[in-house]
Amino acid sequence: MRHPLRLACLCLVGLLSTRAARAQTPPLRLVVSSGLQGDLARIACVPAGERSSGLTALSRALGQRSGEDVLRLDAGDLFGSSAVAHLATRDHLPALVDAVLASGLRALAVGHRDLAGPRADVIARARALSARGVRTVLSNLSCEPEAQDLCDALVDGGDEPLVLSTPAGGVGVVALIAPGELSAVAHDRSEGITLSSPEEALGRAVLAARVAGARFVVAFYDPESPGTLLDTVRMVRALPRDQRPDVVFAQDIDRSTATLEIERGAALRVFATEPARVVETSLPAPGTPALVEPEGEVPPAVSALGDAIGEQLCRIAAEVLPGGALTAPLDREGFTSLLLDVARESTRSEIAVINRGAVRPIANFPLRGRISRVDVLGALPFDDVLRVGRIKGDALATFVRSARSARFRMRGVTRDGDSLLVNGRPLAEDQYYRVVTSGFVADGGDGGFAEEDEVTYEPDPVGAPRETLLSWLAIPRGGDITRAPIDPAQRTRWTFRGFIDASLSNTTIANNPNYQDPQLVRSQGTAIQLDAEGHVDAEQPRYTFENTLRLRLGYQQTIDASGDTGLLKIGDLIALRDHLAWRGLWRHRRWYTPLPYVESYLESEFSPPDPSMLNREWHHLQWRPTAGLRLELPLRANLNAGVGMDWETLEPGAHPQAVAVIRGELPATTLFHIQDRDVEGQLFTEVAFREPWATTTETLVRLNARLSVPIFAPLAVTISYDLFARQRSEAAWGVSHDINLGLRLDFLKTLQLFSY
């Protein structure tokens, strides 16, 4: 019994000694800043005494807590992707490092907005800070060879954990970004880097930090937006207890500071940070963080950095933009509209989209007198690129009508009641539109412009929003510059569309034994028919100019007991229609507003009919010029009524005849959907009255209806119906019907002009 009793006594003494040692170890006061996003200086040319910024307030708050038991850390996005952070890194890096050290920060976590900045800036800052003893951490980062410089500058997932020495013991620092947040980073700045699972990286880093002597482990997490504290809680709860940090700070959650207990009895807490603010808690028993208000003096190094950047901004402001004169105050909404209009003009795009947060609400709004370079830097603080792509009309309509569209500003698309207009023209769901947006939006920022794969982007960026606007403002202009960018609504949009319908049937029979099966006692035959149609249409606010060419040709051969008919023509048509409608008479148009039009219609044939079928030696060539009124109906349909002349030009002795024409047309339009396939319909019907006032009136009816179901682009199955009917005076009608089922090859191309 002595040995067990002795062992128990030794364990009790050891436990009491450990508790006594811990009791003698002072607690740690943890002071955390977050989300400054490069607010290092006021973006304006102001006197030295007025150059306050987010950094001055942050440094004053960090300085409120002093003593050896205080550890100051930044939870991420200290620099972000702001223009001021870029200026400071490029031109004032030593002063920037001095300011960070003067704020007392001992380590910086990387947030996704930091990654969105120029990679060279991230590397330069991390190296300069590391040389002064302040490390930058991203614990779930790994790099391909082309991005290895970034990983070398940071404490990444392949490095030993960062453990800081404090009187309270070693403190491990872990920083994580959700992999999905890379979608908010421009492609060229996320290329070559990978963010591993935050859960796995956190567990590994905590274990490694404990092995390296850390008494406490502090973790910073930038979750996928929109994030909640519960998301972070679930991630940590999935880890074994020995892999959990002592405290977790989550970014971009809610503006309210919050805390959640992971498990009853556990000391671990999860906190939400405050953007551009400082919070304080303590270890080993963290309580709900308290906000630390900015009080006291600004560190001289922080003031020196603000003065250096401020003087540079004053020099920039002195550089006059020749095209920046304003005739009226320009607010934030007007500035955003100007930016989008300039982006459309510079990229020859019909639509421009940007997230609302891209243009910041600077104090200078509304701008008066002139736009300065500093105004542009302040309103567009984030470095980004412009991306150009193509989006189909139905996907565009879905986005505009979605709740998500409220996060964006858009130029080129407007509402007209329940309908949508693209640059003043009805949105066509089957057509493609050229769109320009920022790299942030193209990569899914704020939910993205459209669903994945609905926009096909060109591989390379076409400039940057801020630089594009500055270049445009550098060109002298007179008058109201907000109306100076070319408006696609005032220019012509061409649509080129063509399709070919083809059908082929062939029946061959060999029945020498004279079997009487129905399949063997039919006639043999071959039939082939081609029906091609091409449209070249121009649409402009003042007019529409539509040109349609239709070619139809078909042959049939039948072999039966009575003989071989040979190839007989069953289709022969050449029709060309040119139609110009003038919209300029009316300032505001509705579907019932009549538009004057002129039209030329030519109809002919490839060859005259076989004499055995029709005794006609002259070649058919009909010309029918008309003029009248047109109604532009919903679904791009139209109704026309006009008068003119009808002349069979090559018929001997024929002369022009008066004609009245009524025509309705529904161009190729999506009628409904079968899963993800757009079923298109097309309808053309026309009634013409020759010599309508004479007793020998002649009536001609033409009708063409077509329905197509796509198989895969550009091939579709089509069924078409053609009707031609003619009656002279009281005589009987002559009618022809054609029903054709075949395959259709379709082509569609649009071109928005910016020159006329």
Would you place residue 14 in the very low, low, confident or very high pLDDT band (cuts 50, 70, 90)? Answer: very low
Q: Which helix (H) or strand (E) holds 344?
A: helix 332-347
Cα dihedral value 643, 648, 653, 656, nearest 10: 10
Would you place residue 505 in the very low, low, confident or very high pLDDT band (cuts 50, 70, 90)? Answer: confident
Query: 683-696 pLDDT, tens per residue?
Result: 999 999 999 888 78
Q: Has residue 496 got a pLDDT over 70?
A: yes
Q: Has residue 431 got a pLDDT over 90?
A: no
Nearest to 635 by CA among 342, 430, 329, 384: 430
Q: Has residue 266 got a pLDDT over 60?
A: no
Cα 422-424-425 angle, rounded to 5 deg: 65
Q: Has residue 742 got a pLDDT over 80?
A: yes
Residue range 27-310 in CATH 3.40.50.460: no
Q: Has residue 1 got a pLDDT over 80?
A: no
Higher pLDDT, 266 or 704: 704
Query: 75-87 pLDDT, tens per residue?
Result: 999 999 888 999 9
- Kindly state the tokens that stand for 270: 């999860």
Mean pLDDT of the chain: 88
The pLDDT of 525-547, averaged and rounded, is 91
Is the distance from CB of 470 to CB of 377 less than 8 angstroms? no
The pLDDT of 435-441, averaged and rounded, is 91
Would you place residue 267 in the very low, low, confident or very high pLDDT band (cuts 50, 70, 90)? Answer: low
CATH fold label, 493-752: Outer membrane phospholipase (ompla); Chain C (2.40.230)
Residue 612, pLDDT score? 64
The pLDDT of 626-654, averaged and rounded, is 93
Query: 268-311 pLDDT, tens per residue?
Result: 688 888 889 999 999 887 777 889 999 889 999 999 999 999 99
Q: Has residue 646 got a pLDDT over 80?
A: yes
Same-fold call for 27-310 versus 493-752 = no
Domain edges within the chain:
27-310, 321-488, 493-752
* Integer Cα distance of 561 and 511 in angstroms: 12
Q: Has residue 24 got a pLDDT over 60?
A: no
Query: 559-616 pLDDT, tens per residue?
Result: 887 888 888 888 899 999 999 999 888 877 788 899 999 999 999 999 887 766 667 7
Q: What is the CATH number of domain 321-488?
A: 3.90.780.10
Residue 452, pLDDT score? 64
* Integer Cα distance of 498 and 749 in angstroms: 9
Highest-scoring range by mean pLDDT, 183-187, 521-525, 593-597, 610-614: 593-597
Higher pLDDT, 178 or 46: 178
Residue 13, pLDDT score? 41
Q: Has residue 11 got a pLDDT over 50?
A: no
Is the distance from CB of 46 to CB of 53 less than 8 angstroms? no
- HSE-CB for 560 with a 13 A CA cutoff: 5
Helix boundaries (H) for 25-92: 54-62, 83-91
* Integer Cα distance of 42 and 581 in angstroms: 56
Query: 387-408 pLDDT, tens per residue?
Result: 999 999 989 999 999 988 999 9
Higher pLDDT, 450 or 114: 114
Higher pLDDT, 752 or 122: 122
Residue 412, pLDDT score? 96
Residue 10, pLDDT score? 39
**Chain centroid to CA 434:** 11
Query: 441-453 pLDDT, tens per residue?
Result: 887 777 777 776 7
